[in-house]
Amino acid sequence: MTDFAGSQYLIEIVYLIASVLFILSLKWMSSPKSARHGILAGEIGMVLAIAGTLLHHGIIDYKWIIIALVLGSGIGVPLGLVQMTAVPQRTALSHAFGAFCVTLVGTAEYYLRAPNVPPFMMAVLSAEVILGSLTFTGSLMAAGKLQEVLPQRPITYKGQNFVNLGLLAGAVLVAGYLVMHPQATFLYPVIVIVPLFFGVMMIIPIGGADMPTVISLLNSYAGLSAAAMGFVLNSKLLIIAGALDGSSGFILSVIMSKAMNRSFTNVLFGAFGQVQASAVAGAEEKTVHSATPDEAAGILAAANKVVIVPGYGMAVAQAQHKVRELYDALTKRGVDVRFAIHPVAGRMPGHMNVLLAEADVPYDRLIEMDEINGDFPQTDVALVIGANDVTNPAARTDKSSPIYGMPILDVDKARTVMVIKRSMNPGFAGIDNPLYYLDNTLMLFGDAKSFVTNIVHELASNQH
Amino acid sequence: MGSTLIDGLFVFVLAGFIGFEVIRRVSPLLHTPLMSLTNALDAIAVVGAIVLVGEHKSTLAFVLGFLAVVAATSNVVGGFLITDRMLRMFKSTRPTKP
């Protein structure tokens, strides 16, 4: 019996060490230099926690645990080896897996304990299961949209918000009833199935451009559901990990929605991307200046300071490696080249940095929006590749624009702006961009990858 | 029961504060790896699932626990793996000592 209690203490101490390692792991993510120590700390914490759990006195059967661990690793390895462009959907999928795990454990715990579930226990268990199941389907939907197996355009219908809120309220009411009458086991499936449905409905009206916010919000929910699970199992380690994940997701959602000048409610209930049809139709014929790769190469070679503004279009065209060649060619000629990164460039927070790092662009050349915006007036050339709305000066000046107030990269203040674009079609959100009609703007029409390739070629062959 | 709840709330609120303070300092450069790392750490939920499988108290709990272990383990392995792959790619122009 004393041995029994001894192993319990040992397990708790192991969990405490794991908690500290988890916090250190996140602390070391503050800079790319220490970040890889962070992973190591996280991995050690995880292995310790799992090993500690296996000492749990109630465990009588190890065989199936091992089988499940092996199976899970077998699924995890390919998910860890996806392309960098596919990281957003992989992340959404892993939110779904995490939420799936939490929901299943909550369900198992309920049926093991029912009908004797104290009110507090039932309340946190409900929170765990509701958050878990809506995060599960919501994340699957988000992954589907990001993978483009589902339509990216928002799908809306009349009374949508009413239906969605009604579903959520219904689930919460049933959960409330279960808190008072936990023996009503026939009602339990409701607090799983209704939120599953809500998760789908929640993501349907959200467009592709809002994915960075949504993915962060789902990250937060996944964390909170895990923390709720920690309350149910009385596991402080789980509460800590869930709280860390929940606050991380929350901070990222705040950063993302600020970067798009939108509130959470606006993202969740707004259905962006369908109101601007009239604005496009109303745009009169305006003149644009265009240039050839040869001319573009000449201007770039003559510049002292160049800022490249990459957008998701660059990644779609798989042009990041060519862009790095351009960076190399210009740097070799003594041109100062930096990259301006808007917080919502890409499909999830920080995605653009990863894509450029993959193409071997040094990270100290990747400059955040707030830091680089003051430098545009001293910039000779701003080269926009596959970005649109984040460079739209209407966000500063035009109160009627749907993106008015959104923080943008002030590329229009550069001496020359060059924009690589397939055609004059409006961008993802369907908003016309006055940048293209400015006198100091040159449009470079063509596919991003082949255009950049041509510029690099011209730079190599000509000594301008 | 009451003190367990209060203990849990203390831990939750304090860990939330630490989370805010630590994550506010994470460079925006690394927000994608941050999310995959927190995702892997969050999969610590696997410990609850392992106990369900190992204790085998009911068939339902065993089956649900088994699936939960599989799902969470794939997050642990996949999450650490991809975070590591991403961080390996971040290089500075200033040569660093090997």
Pairing mode of beta strands A381-385, A289-290: unpaired
Q: What is the mean pLDDT of residues A141-170?
A: 85
Query: Whole-angstrom Cα distance, residue A168 to residue A131?
Result: 10
The pLDDT value recorded for residue A267 is 66
| Cβ <8 Å between A104 and B65 | yes
Percentage of chain A with pLDDT > 90?
59
CB A381 within 8 A of CB A404: no
As given in the structure block, the two tokens for residue A439 are 């006198």
Give residue A429's pLDDT.
57
Residue in the structure block whose two tokens are 């809120």: A165
- Asked if the model's pLDDT at residue A278 lies above 60, the reply is no
What average pLDDT score do residues A22-46 get? Answer: 93
Q: How is residue A237 written in tokens? A: 């380690």
For residue A310, what are the β-bridge partners?
A385
Please give the residue range of the domain that contains residue B50.
Answer: 28-89
Residue B76 belongs to some domain of the structure: yes
Interface subset of A 107-166, CB within 8 angstroms of B:
107-109, 111-112, 118, 120
- Is B46–A60 a contact, with Cβ atoms under 8 angstroms apart? no
Q: What angle do CA B77, B79, B80 make, to 5 degrees?
A: 70
Residue A9 has pLDDT above 90, yes or no: no
Given pLDDT bands bounded at 50, 70 and 90, which one contains residue A204? Answer: confident
Domain-embedded: residue B78:
yes
CATH 3.40.50.1220 in chain A, residue ranges: 286-461
φ/ψ (deg, to 5) at A459? -65, -35
Find all residues with CB under 8 Å of A444, minimum gap 6, and list them: A290, A291, A293, A296, A418, A419, A420, A421, A451
Selection from B92, B96, B97 nearest residue B27 by Cα: B92
Q: How far apart are CA A104 and CA A14, in angstroms?
A: 25
pLDDT at residue number A3: 56
Q: Minimal Cα distance from B95: which residue of A?
A: A362
Residue of A nearest to B4 (CA): A234
Closest-CA residue to B37 (of A255, A219, A68): A219
Cβ-proximal residues to A400 (8 Å cutoff; 6+ apart), any chain: none
Range with lowest mean pLDDT among A92-106, A151-165, A417-431 = A417-431
What is the reported pLDDT for A1?
42
Higher-pLDDT residue of A346, B26: B26
Q: Do A351 and B54 touch (CB under 8 A)?
A: no
Query: Kind and range of the H or E element at A175?
Result: helix A160-180
Contact B53 A65 (CB under 8 A): yes
| Chain A residues in contact with B6 (beta carbon < 8 A) | none
- Tell me: the pLDDT tens digits for A35-87? 989 999 999 999 999 999 998 878 888 999 999 999 999 999 999 999 998 99
DSSP conformation letters of A386-427: S--GGG-THHHH-TTSTTTT-----GGGSSEEEEEESSS---
Q: Which residues, 6+ apart, have CB-to-CB distance to A279 below 8 Å? A: A401, A402, A430, A431, A432
Contact yes or no for A101 and B88 at CB 8 A: no
CA angle A310, A301, A451 (to 5 degrees): 45
pLDDT of residue A352: 93
Instruction: Tell me, yes or no, if A355 comes closer than 8 A to chain B by beta carbon.
Output: no
As separate numbers, helices (DSSP H) first and strands (DSSP E) second, chain A gives 18, 7
pTM: 0.89
With contacts defined as CB-CB under 8 Å, which chain A residues touch B8? 230-231, 234, 236, 239
Residue A453 neighbours by CB distance under 10 Å: 18
Contacts of B12 in chain A (CB under 8 A): 227, 230-231, 239, 242-243
Spatial separation of the C-alpha atoms in residues A153 and A272, rounded to whole Å: 9
Catalytic entry in A245, A389, A412, A432:
A389
Residue A307 banded pLDDT, cuts 50, 70, 90: very high
Tell me, yes or no, whether B8 lies in a domain: no
Q: Which long-range contacts (CB under 8 A, 24 or more apart) does A167-176 make?
A: A167/A194, A167/A195, A167/A197, A167/A198, A167/A201, A168/A134, A168/A195, A168/A198, A170/A194, A171/A130, A171/A195, A171/A198, A172/A130, A175/A122, A175/A123, A175/A126, A175/A127, A175/A130
The pLDDT value recorded for residue A344 is 86
Name the residue with higher pLDDT: A208 or A318: A318
Predicted pLDDT of residue A269: 60
Res. B95: pLDDT tops 60? no
| Contact call for residues B18 and A17 (beta carbons, < 8 A) | no
Superfamily of domain A286-461: TPP-binding domain (3.40.50.1220)
Confidence at residue B97, expressed as pLDDT on a 0 to 100 scale: 41
B54 lies in some domain: yes
pLDDT at A276 exceeding the cut of 70: no
Confidence bin at A270 (pLDDT 50/70/90): low
Which structure tokens are listed for A386?
A: 């596959």
Q: What is the pLDDT of residues A338-372, one digit of tens each?
A: 999 999 888 889 999 999 999 999 999 999 999 99
Average pLDDT of chain A, as a whole number: 88
- For residue A321, give every residue at least 6 positions away whose Cβ sits within 8 Å of its Cβ, in sequence order, or none: A359
Structural domains of chain B, count: 1
**Cα–Cα distance for residue pair A140/A214, rounded to 1 Å:** 12
CA distances from A424 to A207, A281, A455 (A): 22, 13, 21
| Cβ atoms A307, A372 nearer than 8 A | yes
Name the residue facing B54 among A33, A61, A73 (closest C-beta): A61
Q: Is residue A94 within 8 angstroms of chain B, CB to CB?
A: yes
Query: Catalytic: A389?
Result: yes
The structure tokens 């969050």 sit at: B42
Q: Measure in Å the smallest separation between the Cα of A385 and chain B Cα atoms.
A: 19
Mean pLDDT value across residues A443-464? 86
Q: Is A374 on the interface with B (CB under 8 A)?
A: no
- Residue B97 domain-assigned (yes or no): no
